[in-house]
């Protein structure tokens, strides 16, 4: 309730786990709209989402009529318990998720008194491509029913990145690749969506008691988060960078991976670094492991 009031009074970017700076976005975004780099409706949508929180297209009245739903985690998450606990604790430490307490009948009753409807989604786990010792927790919001209660009309999009890269290579271009760190969890979620983004898992390797955890920021598994991030990053952040003449070369993007392309290899790294510094000034972080 304290964090909900914080969002109401100061905005979603005031949440302790948010790295985005709303006050830095506003003037640069307004300039980009005036210069024709960003569509006004997209700018309005983004500022509203940064102020009140992203929803992933969630339909409020449907969710609030859905009642209480809880599911057990999948064997893949339980088998990779240590890695999943480590990943969840990272989210918790960074303020992306909040531990509500050890799961019990008493806590279940308290949550039910507080919220007329809530979901506890099942978690799985998949290995990370370049970090073989790490596992990425996955959230099955399809099983919980959350995804079926989302309107994705403004969030659906297609990717043509491979063809864009191929066209650049056909021109004899070089490419410098980078990756946004924790892309979806960058986006703060609207407080009314929080009760439908809860899970149960271990937060201590030595304990066999599950904790109830609520995600305050987007995760991997919600049907609307790829579209939300595409609008935020591709349409807005990249548009702002082009408006400020920080980004001038071609940059194909695949979700949160990007590659600046051009005929001179020596300038690609400098332009990527300029873009990264601009995005970091706004609050985005990058995974240097994937820079090449």
Query: Which pLDDT value is given to residue 132?
Result: 65
Alpha carbon of residue 147 to chain centroid? 15
Query: Which pLDDT value is given to residue 130?
Result: 67
- List, for residues 28-60, the tens digit of each pLDDT value: 999 999 999 999 999 999 999 999 999 999 999
**Dihedral class, residue 221 (left if φ above 0, else alpha if ψ from -120 to 50, else beta):** left
DSSP-H helix ranges across 211-264? 225-229, 238-243
Indicate the class that CATH gives domain 2-290: alpha beta
Query: Which pLDDT value is given to residue 288?
Result: 74
Do residues 38 and 243 lie in contact, with contact meaning Cβ atoms separated by under 8 Å? yes
Confidence band, pLDDT 50/70/90 cuts, at residue 241: very high
Instruction: Compute the average pLDDT of residues 187-198.
Output: 98
- List, for residues 57-81, the tens digit of each pLDDT value: 999 999 999 999 999 999 999 999 9
Sort 142 into a burial class: Cβ within 10 Å, 0-12 / 13-18 / 19+.
middle
Taking Cα atoms as reference points, which of 25, 182, 23, 11 lies closest to residue 93? 182
Tell me how far apart the alpha carbons of residues 262 and 245 are, in angstroms, rounded to a whole number: 16
Tell me how far apart the alpha carbons of residues 60 and 39 are, in angstroms, rounded to a whole number: 26
Element (H or E) spanning 93, and its range? helix 81-93
Does 90 score more than 90 pLDDT? Answer: yes
Taking Cα atoms as reference points, which of 258, 262, 251 lies closest to residue 292? 258
**Which SS3 state, helix, strand or coil, does residue 102 take?**
strand
pTM of structure = 0.93
Sign of torsion over alpha carbons 26, 288, 56, 253: positive
Q: DSSP labels for 31-76?
A: HHHHTTSS-HHHHHHHHHHHHH-B-TTB-HHHHHTS-EEE-PPPHH
Cβ contacts of 101 within 8 Å, gap of 6 or more? 107, 211, 212
Do residues 54 and 188 lie in contact, with contact meaning Cβ atoms separated by under 8 Å? yes
Cβ contacts of 38 within 8 Å, gap of 6 or more? 29, 32, 235, 236, 239, 240, 243
Does 131 score more than 80 pLDDT? Answer: no
**What average pLDDT does the chain have?**
94
Q: Specify which residues 253 forms β-bridges with.
A: 258
């Amino acid at each position: 309730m304290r964090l909900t009031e914080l969002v109401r009074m100061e905005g979603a970017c005031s949440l302790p786990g948010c790295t985005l700076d709303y006050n830095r976005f506003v003037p640069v975004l307004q300039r980009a709209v005036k210069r024709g780099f960003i569509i006004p409706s997209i700018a309005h949508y983004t500022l509203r989402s940064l102020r009140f929180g992203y929803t992933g297209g969630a339909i409020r009245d449907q969710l609030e009529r859905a009642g209480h739903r809880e599911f057990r985690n999948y064997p893949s998450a339980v088998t990779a318990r240590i890695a999943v606990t480590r990943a969840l604790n990272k989210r918790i430490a960074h303020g992306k998720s909040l531990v509500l307490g050890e799961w019990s009948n008493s806590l279940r009753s308290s949550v039910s008194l507080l919220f007329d409807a809530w979901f506890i989604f099942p978690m799985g786990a998949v290995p990370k491509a370049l970090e073989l010792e790490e596992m990425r927790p996955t959230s099955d919001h399809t099983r919980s029913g959350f995804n079926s209660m989302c309107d994705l009309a403004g969030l659906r999009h297609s990717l043509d990145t491979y063809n864009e890269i191929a066209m650049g290579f056909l021109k004899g271009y070089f490419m410098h690749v980078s990756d946004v760190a924790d892309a979806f969890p960058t986006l703060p979620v609207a407080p009314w969506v929080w009760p439908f983004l809860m899970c149960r898992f271990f937060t201590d390797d030595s304990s066999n008691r599950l904790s109830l955890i609520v995600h305050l920021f987007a995760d991997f598994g919600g049907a609307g988060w790829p579209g939300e991030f595409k609008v935020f990053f591709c349409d807005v952040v990249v548009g702002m960078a082009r408006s400020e003449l920080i980004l001038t070369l071609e940059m194909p993007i695949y979700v949160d991976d990007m590659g600046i392309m051009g005929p001179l290899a020596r300038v690609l790294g400098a332009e990527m670094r300029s873009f990264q510094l601009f995005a970091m000034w706004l609050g985005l972080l990058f995974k240097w492991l994937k820079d090449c």
